[in-house]
Structure formats: C-alpha cells, structure tokens
Copies of this chain bind each other. A is one copy, B any other.
C-alpha cells in the first residue's frame, strides 16, 4: 500500500522545488485516488501544473476521484482541447460526472471536440435525470443470449474483454429483455457443456433508468448486491451500476442529511471556497434571525412582567434551551429512521408514542431537578414550580414537533433533513417563552 500522507509531502516539496521530471515519475506510480487527495489540497495553479504532468489516462482516473468543487476549479484552469482529450480516455459514466460540473457552453464545446461514438454515448446518459439510476449506470456490461452453453459463454466473454469490475454476466432473451444473471464463479466451475440457463439466477433484482439513486442504494443495502442491472421501461437491459458508485451515493446522502440537519448545505465540504459557501450559510442564518425575532417578540409581550420581576429573564433561557435539545434529539433519530427506511407509515404511531413517553419521563426528571435548583437559588417556591412545569410542557411539544415535522416533510416529498434545528427549535423557543412567561404573568400577584 502507498502511504498517502508521505506521498502528499513529497509531491508538495517537488512542486515548490520546480522538479517536474522527478515529480512526473513519482506521479506515474501513484494510485489515482491518492493523487486526488493531494490535488484537492493544492492551490489552483499547482493543481493544473500537477495535472499536466500526468498521461491522459491517469489524468482521467484522477479527475474521476475528485470532489465536485475541486473538479470545477481544475477544469476552469485547463483548456478545452486538454479536457476533451482526457475525457476520451474515461468510461462514459465518469465523463458524465465531469460534464455535469461544466457550464453548459463549455460542456457543449468539449463534447464536440470528442470522438463521435464516445460523445454520443455520453449525451445519451446525460438525458437521464440527475440522481437517477440512468445517470449513475455504466453502459458497459457483459450480456449473453439465453440458449448457449457455458463453453460458448466463456468464448463470448473472452471476446468482450471485460473490465476489472465485471463480476456478473447478464442473460438476455431475443428481444434484449433481462431474464437472468450468472456470477462468474459459476461459469468457472461448471462443465463447458452445461446450458447457461441451468446455472443462472432467474430472480434478478433490477431497477429502471429513472429509479432514484437513493432507492438504488437501499436495494443494494437490503439485498447485499455487488452490481445492479438497469433496465428501460420495456425491461431491456441498458446498463449496470457498480457497488462503488452506490457507496458514493450512500456517503453523499449521509453527508447531505448530517449537514442539512446542522443548517449547512448538503454538499458543502471543509475546503470549499468561502465565497461559494457564503450565500448558502447566510440563507439559513437569516431564516434563523427571523425565527429568533419571532421568539423575542413573544418575550416582548411580557416586557412589563419582566420589568416587575427580572428573575423571569434569568430562567426563561433554560426552558427554551431544554426544548431545543429535546426536539433536536427526536428529529435527528426520526430523520435518520426515515432515511434508512425504518420509519414507515405503519410504525408512525409507535414512534410518536415512544417519543411522547420519553419527553414526559425525561421532562419530569429535568423539571424536578430545575425546580429544586431554582428554589434553592432564588427561594421562590411558586416560580420554581412554574419553571419545572413549563419545562415539562415544552419537552412534550418538542417530542411532537420533532416527530411530526420531518414525517410531514417526507409526505410532501421535501427532504426531512430540512427540519434542521433552525426550523424545529422555533416551535420550542416560542412555546417555551410563551408558556413560562405566560404562567408567571397569570400568577404574577402571587409571585411579587
């Protein structure tokens, strides 16, 4: 195994020393994935320098491994002839991932510069919706007719020169319909005279070209697949998705969920240029500012109560804060449950029951603790009781909001992870301030 960290150091040293020849020979022996990790840490000008030292095939492999923002930066620094020459050496489905990142005009120019067969293949894939199985699949696969023997099959496979990612061959009927699949080890261990239909799997899990990539990922996880055949609406085989692509989807979807829940963009990375991130962060901050003003206007309703009894201002953040954590705990588990396909309609009532039970028990425990502490601290028994009770009520609101908002978003086909703390804590802030200050105001004459 190469040691990526040391490779990193070496390459940076050679770049700053201007020793291009020595560098080129080191790059030649390095794995594309390791080089991609180095490239993303370099300044744009050095990225281009390094890239121009690679042969086209290797450059293509590195390009495939880069994350989208780095890919965009790098493509910006290369000229169109260079890019099209590199893309010609890449498999069509990897070309698609590059072309997607280019401005429409540049993409067209580059496709024009490429040889026609490859360019057509790419354009066909580009017609499928982003995020669909058609966009993700490779149009290269090994297919066999159904009425041949194992010996004939092996002869055909030999001619089609499969790549290192061929683990299955697919069996098609006369009309190109997918009717089965054969894992390679069965061809290897069967007698040459055996008919292929005797060793094929008939019930092959497949997806259609417009299946969503999240659905493909769920299928792969559920049935432990290595490769998913993709068929068109007429059940004709059009391509295959490899498990490596699916792993990338799973990882990207997880990143999206984590970051959206945290109020950041789903595809932000730690090294994104700040200017690029600014508008997306700002949107959520402005939304939060609006919800914070809403919550503070609730406090404003009780300004005269606070004027009369300033200790209310001391306690009120506790009620809001506990509601915020309670609803975040619930929403996080619910959003993840939806993503994993574990929270379905048939168990919603059970989940809501669980969350309400938890909010009542943990709310009672925390309410009791804070009531005792408040009493010891300020010596006002009624106020302490109001504080503990408001906390309990706010936890209950937190459980209901944290469960139902993500579920409702899912029903309306909006990503449930949008139910980030920004949105859900608005409810617990508003309700928390309102219930605590409201009860205190109602009972004000006993408090003063």
Contact = CB atoms under 8 A, between A and B. Distances in A.
Given A292-B318, A317-B429, A325-B288, A185 B206 contact: no
Contacts of A343: 270
A295 B332 CA distance: 24
A15 interface: no
Interface of A: 1, 5, 8, 31, 33-34, 37, 40-41, 67, 154, 157-158, 161-162, 164-167, 183-185, 187-189, 203, 205-206, 220-224, 226, 242-244, 246-248, 250-251, 254-255, 257-259, 261-264, 268-274, 277-278, 281-282, 284-286, 288-289, 291-293, 295-297, 299-300, 303-304, 306-307, 310-318, 320-322, 324-326, 328-329, 331-337, 340, 342-344, 346-347, 350-351, 354, 357-358, 361-362, 365-366, 369-370, 373, 421-422, 425, 429, 433
Given A282-B362, A285-B362, A421-B421, 20 more contacts: A157-B188, A158-B189, A165-B224, A167-B185, A243-B247, A257-B258, A263-B325, A269-B342, A270-B336, A270-B351, A278-B358, A278-B361, A285-B325, A286-B369, A293-B373, A295-B321, A306-B313, A312-B313, A321-B425, A325-B421
Given A277-B358, A313-B306, A362-B278, A258 B321 contact: no
A337 B262 CA distance: 14
Contacts of A318: 289, 292-293, 296
Contact of A247 (B247, B288, B335, B342): B247
Given A289-B366, A346-B41, A347-B41, A167 B226 contact: yes
Contact of A310 (B8, B221, B268, B307): B307
Instruction: Describe A's contact surface by its main secondary structure.
Output: helix
A429 B317 CA distance: 9
A224 B277 CA distance: 29
Nearest to A361: B278
Contacts of A331: 262
A362 B281 contact: yes
A347 B307 CA distance: 50
Contacts of A31: 223
B184 A289 contact: no
